[in-house]
Amino acid sequence: MDFTAQSTWIALGMIMFTNIILSGDNAVVIAMASRNLPKEHQKRAIFWGSAAAIILRVILTLTAVQLLTLPYLKIIGAVLLVYIGVQLLAEGDDEDDGIEGSSNLLKAVKTILIADLVMSLDNVIAVVGVANKAPEEARIPLILIGLALSIPLIIFGSTILLKIMDRFPFIVVLGAGLLGLLAGEMVLTDPSLVKFFETAPSELHWVLPILGIASVLAIGYTLKRKHQKD
């Protein structure tokens, strides 16, 4: 992997940014699942729950990297990215997300693990989408480095991050727009469409990413206004 290449650092930065933006809810789940534990057990629950969730996330991500080399799966991944971006913009401010606090250390760790696993699917798809911009031989190292660097920030800086996102909502908009951009670019690189885009008008190479951004923002804000009215 060439650490002197600008594309390497751009991809690494985008992986960290995407993972951190999408992990706000995961951080809330970790806090809520351990909130009823005795104080001396809370840190242990957060540590072991996060450690298990991190291992599963790495396995899921590396599996997704291999699966996305198959035809049509990048198209499915692009649709999921748009959906994730829309949810990021449209989601309400639910206080507990249905996560119950546990007074038992093992149960708290189990809750953290299961909830984080389900909620990490969006992170996995998004991170793989970002890594897709890097040279093939650099993708897996970049994913591992990006996850390793962003995980401590998520665990120790989650409260600060949530406050920053509340104070500067445009960060969430940037994150959602980034997912739309990645969705458009992912379609361009699907094995089933590569030959088509090689002969297609060059305008499509920037129209699709722009369309991805526009779709996420338009649908996301429409749903957000609808939720506010309801």
In this predicted model, what pLDDT tens digit does every residue of 120-163 receive, in sequence order?
666 777 777 777 777 777 878 888 887 777 677 666 655 565 56
Residue 37 phi, psi dihedral angles, 5° rounding = -75, 155
0.75 exceeded by pTM: no
Find tokens 């639910």 and name the residue. 94
Please tell me the predicted confidence (pLDDT) of residue 15. Answer: 80
The per-residue pLDDT for 222 is 94
Among candidates 93, 90, 87, 78, which has minimal Cα distance to 132?
A: 78
Query: Do the domain assignments include residue 174?
Result: yes
Which of 51, 72, 54 has its CA nearest to residue 62? Answer: 54
Is 1 among the domain residues? no
pLDDT attached to residue 97: 47
- Tell me the one-letter amino acid at 223: L
Please tell me the total count of domains within the chain: 1
Q: What is the pLDDT of residue 154?
A: 62
Q: Does 58 map to a domain?
A: yes
CA dihedral 217, 183, 62, 106 (to 10 degrees): 20
Closest CA to 85 of 14, 205, 173: 173
Return the pLDDT at 102: 53
Rounded distance, CA 85 to CA 70, Å?
23
Q: Within a domain: residue 19?
A: yes
Full residue range of the structural domain in which residue 110 is found: 6-229
Exposed, middle or buried: residue 109 (CB in 10 Å: 0-12, 13-18, 19+)? Answer: buried
Q: What is the mean pLDDT of each run of 10 residues along the chain (230 residues)?
A: 72 79 64 70 77 78 77 87 84 50 69 64 73 77 78 61 69 85 88 90 91 96 86
DSSP 96: S
